[in-house]
Amino acid sequence: MDAILLALGASRRREILGLLRCGERSAGEIYRALGDVTFGAVSQHLGVLERAGLVQVRREGRSRLYLARPEGLGPLREWLESMWDDALAALKARAEAEQAGVRRGSGRPSAEGMRRPRGRGHD
């Protein structure tokens, strides 16, 4: 997953992926579409994307044709979903604890449920 994050860390590579979402393109077409970058830089960016598994390449004569591989984002997607699932589970537990305090008390959250965490930005 580190290779995916590294590849996506550069805005130019994200721009190239955007171009390739629409279909297969040669390195020359990508170079011309970007306009303000050298062909060598485009080639290097494509190499990073390929090594990360985010694009596939095939040869056709002297040309290399590139296509985005959305499935290459699978490991990143799984990691992000697990982070989201953990956050939702924590939120659910907090809401249930607060609801239990309301049921036991006088119709308002218990002091425990209303206590704010201490630390920077919370005082």
Q: Is 27 within 8 Å of 64 (Cβ atoms)? A: yes
Tokens of 113: 């449920």
The whole-number pLDDT of residue 123 equals 46
The whole-number pLDDT of residue 84 equals 76
pTM of the model as a whole: 0.63
Q: Is 25 within 8 Å of 40 (Cβ atoms)? A: no
Tokens of 41: 């830089």
Per-residue pLDDT tens, the chain, 123 aa: give them: 788 888 898 999 999 999 999 899 999 999 999 989 999 999 999 999 999 999 999 999 998 999 999 888 777 778 778 777 777 777 888 888 888 877 776 555 555 545 555 555 554
Q: Which residues contact 39 (CB under 8 A, 6 or more apart)?
A: 27, 28, 31
